[in-house]
Structure 1
Amino acid sequence: MTSPTDALPITRVPRTGLPAQAVVVGDPGRAAAVAELLSDAKEVSYHREYRTFTGTWQGTEVVVSSHGVGAPGAILLFQELAEAGVRTMLRLGTAGAIRPGIRDGDLVIADAAVRDDGVTQQLIPAEYPAFSAPEAVIALERAARAAGAPHHRGVVWTRAAFQPGFLPLPGEAYAAAGIAAIEMELSALYVFASTHGLTAGGALVVDGANADELVAEEAPFSTSGYDPHRDVVAQGVDRGARIALDALRLLAAAEH
């Protein structure tokens, strides 16, 4: 583990020397599970929701790190990873499907994200877009095809609140516009990366319909019945982790 004087203040990751390629996830437990896929995996920090490992995936040195739930905390990880040397970040997360035909366990590769994240509005004008690096989309799609994984591309909705509240939401409009899925952190990654010269992408495993009872082809969803801990989701996350790591390998190879 890194000594306190050599660590960054929020996440406690080392101040320098991290590999340039990273997979970022929400759950510290998921970070550990992804790290188990690596050769020579080593935990380098664990503070609050931020748990970070380094290791090697098929010859490519990578970071795996968790950012917790919600964009305001997640962007702190993105900032400190970048300060420590990370140049490419792919988010592996879960999401609720909105577009018809997207099933539990499927992968959504996000071209862009709606900026309803609760933090980037305080950093840059609302008109600034949240978009993936094109090469990240291509690498993720190539890795998904090679894995034979069911996958979809599209725009996702990053929203700060998980539970529905008392205010009307633009869910019907977003569904009509073809938004693929809803999640909580990706637009913050995209805005941070594009404004700091970094490469970012997102691969989201569908774990149900979203929390506002928007309906695709499946039955209506309610938060009381939300269960992301099913085998179909676990299998999708494991498959998605390997796809994200393969995409990092492809991106690293393209840089040389």
Structure 2
Amino acid sequence: MNDFLPITKIPRTGLPQRALVVGDPERASAVAGLLTDSVLIGQNREYRSFTGTWRGVPVVVSSHGVGGPGALCQLGELAEAGVRTFLRFGTAGALRADIADGDLVIAEAAVRDDGVTAQLIHPEYPAVATPEAVLALDRAAAAHQRHAHRGVVWTRAAFSPMVLELPMRDYLAARVIAIEMELSTLLVFAGLRGLVAGGVLVIDGNATVDNDDPTSYDPHRQVVADAVAAGSAVALDALVELT
């Protein structure tokens, strides 16, 4: 057995207890660039992981790619290596007209439409954020004067529909506020392991009308880039507040 875990290629032991997880490896690099003494500790496939310090507290920043199954592989190896507190920092589509591009959404819970957690535990088991994580993110957003909304987000495996119609109308009626692809996997994983977890998402568009042309999606706009840059500090500040 070598000194590195097989999927992420991070060290098997000795990681800081707090991790910020993101989808995009380039976002992991950008967030790691904000840290003091940032070091690349593992890179394989979509997984890129760093350690460093934020406000004097050791942290991990690691990417998991797109979708719940791949994220689950990353989460398991981070926990194996010593992480006990996880925050996801990503992007999402708004499901409410008053939630604008660049706003933050702080997840209180998630709809488990992720394609993987149904294979881990019965569907009645909830995907809920740790209350302390929600409150820490709320305080950090306020301190940075970022417009933030709290509520339930919808995690779904399919990026766009094909033959089956997705139940967008049902979740709009249920007051779900945003949609993304990985958070419920984190919340269920953390719940089953007794870990701390939460998530904050930057809005990169409005998803109230499900578009069957995924090429029309355009997250690469300045308002989104600026919000991701500002949201990185929000997420890191909340992360180091948690124990």
What is the TM-score when the length of structure 2 is the normalising length? 0.97
Residues 68, 115 of structure 2: 8 Å contact kept? yes
Following the alignment from structure 1 to structure 2, what is the Cα–Cα distance between the partners of residues 233 and 240? 10
Indicate the residue corresponding to 2:112 in structure 1.
115
**Structure-1 separation of matches of 2:234 and 2:162:** 35
1:40-85 Cα offsets, whole Å, 9 max, x none, are 0000010000000000001110000000000001011000000000
Give the aligned length. 243
**Quick check: 1:209–1:221 contact (8 Å CA) kept in 2?**
no
1:223 to 205, 214, 233: 214
The unaligned stretches of length 5 or more in structure 1 are 215-219
1:244 aligns with 2:240: no
Which whole-Å CA distance do the structure 1 matches of 2:180 and 2:171 have between them?
Answer: 13
**5 Å matches for 1:17-96?**
17-96=14-93
Of the three residues 209, 218, 233, the one matched with 2:224 is: 233
Q: Which moved further from structure 2: 161-170 or 230-239?
A: 161-170
Match of 1:150 in 2: 147
* Aligned-partner residue type, residue 236 of structure 1: A
Separation (CA, whole Å) in 2 of partners of 1:87 and 1:231: 34
After superposition, the C-alpha distances for 1:138-181 in whole angstroms (9 at most, x for unaligned) are 00000000000011000000000102211122110101111010
Q: Which amino acid aligns with 2:104?
A: L
Alpha-carbon distance between aligned partners in 2 of 1:12 and 1:209, rounded to the nearest angstrom: 36
The answer on whether the counterparts of 1:213 and 1:221 sit within 8 Å (CA) in structure 2 is no
> Contact 1:110/1:201 (CA < 8 Å) preserved in 2?
yes
- Percent same amino acid at aligned positions? 63
Equivalent position of 1:217 in the other structure: none
Q: Which moved more, 1:145-154 or 1:169-178?
A: 169-178
Aligned-residue offset at 1:95: 0.3
- Structure 1 runs (4+) deviating above 6 angstroms are none
- Runs of at least 5 residues in structure 2 that lack an aligned partner in the other structure: none
For residues 83-232 of structure 1, what are the structure 2 equivalents within 5 Å?
A: 83-210=80-207, 213-214=209-210, 223-232=214-223
Q: What's the C-alpha RMSD, in Å, of the aligned pairs?
A: 1.4
